[in-house]
């Protein structure tokens, strides 16, 4: 059977790939695994799960299927309803639940949806546990009967409890700041404005009218133009763009210029370092982080550890050595002192707090990172497993030598397609594009699947 779980749970086209039947089977299998492993709080009569979702219309179908599957397997369920992914993770830990379930496709278009399981404490499931769940899919089992089936009830005030947690992480008020927040018509449409106002900011809200169909549509972190226009129109100090499940955040300065995840990560790293709270003066990022970010951190005397692309790899590195800050260029920032996953609202609050603490505007804070132009060329229909080809390796070495520390080259095989991504950073766009195209030609020639 092909693997069901990807790098971030199960995700695909809702009602075609991610169906109610699959949701039911996955939740039954997940319940069976935690029960068989004994990985639950024995002081309770039954294991406890919390379930939250983003506002996609398909989430209603999947939520009912997940809840039914868990309860039918003897798990009590608290329904959190529409709630950001990091809020579900927080409440999984705060309520000492044995399992958390998030129904969301994050920044993906509305027709997609996904299912992600969280272990006790709000952490992502280990690969080994996901493999056990897959092994049980569709297998026969003795379902509990009578009083042994799970109970289902709504959980009161999940948004308010999450917001209280966010505010508790701050050291100072955001009074005096005017902020525009774009909620992507997603799961944070209530929590984000509530948190920013509770922190003391004056808040203008856009993208906060979810109808089940408009999540991420022309708004949020994947479409910054509406936020940029609103910041300028309202004379705001900053703009915050969330994605559909609010696990990532991008920003806009007072002039409408975008501030990416690398810059946000740099702002937070310097803040923690000055406070003496950046463990081993180290921040964790991925190989896709801009070289300008790495250079800025090195200039500040900080170390950057780079992992494979994907927040799960950032999290693994952070948990292994106890690092407190990591993230991706996409705006997925993890502050492990306060959260077990990326949290867009948390990121925004702490970046805004840095503005208040320093008296500097966002543009000045972000300017610590000088982003090098970055060009990405996707080369399709090639053998992605042969990127160690000696001729290709020599071509990469020649280009890197020519850049002489002023840029870099990265070849990334796709995880799912016969494709190699050629990423180049260089002092100018023209330089980066020229290098990328030259290397892309070598990839096409050397790694072609069929002889021309």
What local confidence, expressed as pLDDT, does residue 2 receive? 63
d(CA 338, CA 168): 9
184 shares a domain with 94: no
Q: What pLDDT does 416 receive?
A: 65
Exposed, middle or buried: residue 175 (CB in 10 Å: 0-12, 13-18, 19+)?
exposed
pLDDT at 234: 98
Task: Give me the number of domains the chain comprises.
Answer: 3
Q: Is residue 2 part of a domain?
A: no
392 Rama sector, left if φ>0, alpha if ψ -120 to 50, beta otherwise? alpha
95 and 118 assigned to the same domain: yes
Does 309 lie in the same domain as 246?
Answer: yes
> Domain holding 201: CATH number?
3.40.120.10
Q: Give CA 172 to chain center in angstroms.
A: 26
- Domain holding 298, by residue range, is 161-366
Q: Could you give the CA distance from residue 49 to residue 64 in angstroms, rounded to a whole number?
A: 14
Count CB-CB contacts under 10 A for residue 386: 13
Please identify every stretch of the chain with a pLDDT value under 50, giving residue numbers as ranges: 451-452
Q: Are residues 245 and 335 in the same domain?
A: yes
DSSP per-residue letters across 352-392: HHHHHHHT--HHHHHTTS-PPPEEEEEEESB-GGGTT-HHH
Q: Which residue in 27, 58, 104, 106 is the catalytic one?
A: 106
Same domain? For 96 and 184 the reply is no
* Residue at a domain's end among 109, 133, 156: 156
| Residue 106 annotated as catalytic | yes
Same domain, 111 and 184: no
Which of 311, 341, 366 is the last residue in one of the domains? 366
Residue 171 and residue 139 share a domain: no
Tokens linked to 277: 């709270």
- Cβ contact 261:326 at 8 Å: no
Tens of pLDDT, residues 83-139: 999 999 999 999 999 999 999 999 999 999 999 999 999 999 988 999 999 999 989
CA distance 291 to 57: 40
| 334 within 8 A of 272, measured Cβ to Cβ | no
The helix (run of H) or strand (run of E) holding residue 51 is strand 48-53
Based on the domain organization, do 173 and 322 belong to the same domain? Answer: yes
The answer to whether 166 and 349 have CB atoms below 8 angstroms apart is yes
pLDDT of residue 404: 87
- Are residues 67 and 51 in contact, defined by beta-carbon separation less than 8 angstroms? yes
Q: Are residues 334 and 393 in the same domain?
A: no
Q: Could you give the count of Cα atoms lying within 13 Å of 163 in the half-sphere of its Cβ? A: 18
In a domain, 41, yes or no: yes
Nearest CA among 276, 332, 281 for reference residue 305 = 281
Which one of 331, 366, 401 terminates a domain? 366
- Residue 221 domain-assigned? yes
**Do 323 and 198 fall into the same domain?**
yes
Same domain, 320 and 342: yes
Given this model, what pLDDT does residue 332 score? 96
406 contacts 392 by C-beta, under 8 angstroms: no
What are the pLDDT digits (tens) for 166-216?
Answer: 999 999 999 999 999 999 999 999 999 999 999 999 999 999 999 999 999
Residue 452's pLDDT is 45
d(CA 119, CA 39): 9
Asked whether residue 101 falls in the same domain as residue 180, the answer is no
């Amino acid at each position: 059977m092909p693997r069901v779980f990807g790098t971030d749970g199960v995700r695909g086209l809702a009602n075609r790939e991610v169906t109610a039947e699959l949701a039911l089977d996955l939740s039954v299998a997940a319940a069976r695994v935690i029960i068989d492993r004994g990985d639950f709080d024995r002081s309770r009569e039954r294991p406890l799960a919390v379930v939250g979702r983003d506002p996609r219309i398909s989430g209603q179908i999947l939520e009912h299927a997940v809840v039914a599957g868990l309860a039918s397997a003897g798990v009590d369920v608290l329904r959190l309803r529409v709630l950001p992914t990091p809020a579900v993770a927080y409440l999984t830990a705060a309520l000492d639940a044995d399992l958390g379930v998030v129904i969301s496709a994050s920044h993906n278009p509305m027709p997609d949806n996904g299912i992600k399981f969280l272990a006790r404490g709000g952490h992502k499931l280990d690969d080994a546990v996901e493999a056990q769940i897959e092994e049980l899919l569709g297998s026969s089992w003795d379902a509990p009967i009578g009083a042994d089936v799970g109970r289902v009830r709504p959980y009161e005030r999940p948004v308010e409890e999450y917001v209280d947690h966010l505010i508790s992480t701050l050291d100072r008020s955001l009074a005096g700041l005017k902020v525009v927040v774009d909620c992507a018509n997603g799961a944070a449409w209530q929590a984000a404005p509530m948190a920013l106002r509770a922190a003391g900011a004056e808040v203008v809200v856009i993208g906060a009218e979810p109808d089940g169909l408009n999540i991420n549509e022309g708004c949020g972190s994947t479409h910054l133009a509406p936020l940029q226009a609103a910041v300028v129109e309202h004379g705001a100090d900053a703009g915050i763009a969330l994605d559909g499940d609010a696990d990532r955040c991008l920003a806009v300065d007072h002039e409408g210029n975008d501030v990416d995840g690398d810059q946000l990560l740099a702002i937070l790293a310097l803040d923690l370092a000055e406070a003496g709270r950046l463990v081993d003066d180290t921040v964790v990022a991925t190989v896709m982080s801009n070289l300008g970010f790495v250079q800025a951190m090195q200039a500040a005397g900080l170390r950057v550890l780079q992992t494979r692309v994907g927040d799960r790899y950032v999290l693994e590195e952070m948990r292994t050595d106890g690092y407190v800050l990591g993230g991706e260029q996409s705006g997925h920032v993890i502050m492990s002192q306060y959260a077990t996953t990326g949290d867009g609202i948390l990121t925004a609050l702490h970046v805004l707090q840095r503005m208040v603490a320093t008296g500097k505007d966002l543009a000045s804070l972000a300017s610590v990172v000088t982003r090098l132009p970055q060009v990405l060329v996707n080369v399709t229909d090639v053998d992605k497993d042969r990127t160690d080809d000696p001729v290709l390796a020599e071509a990469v070495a020649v280009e890197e030598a020519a850049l002489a520390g002023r840029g870099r080259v990265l070849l990334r095989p796709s995880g799912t397609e016969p494709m190699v991504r050629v990423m180049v950073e260089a002092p100018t766009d023209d330089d980066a594009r020229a290098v990328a195209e030259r290397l892309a030609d070598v990839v096409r020639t050397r790694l072609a699947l069929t002889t021309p």
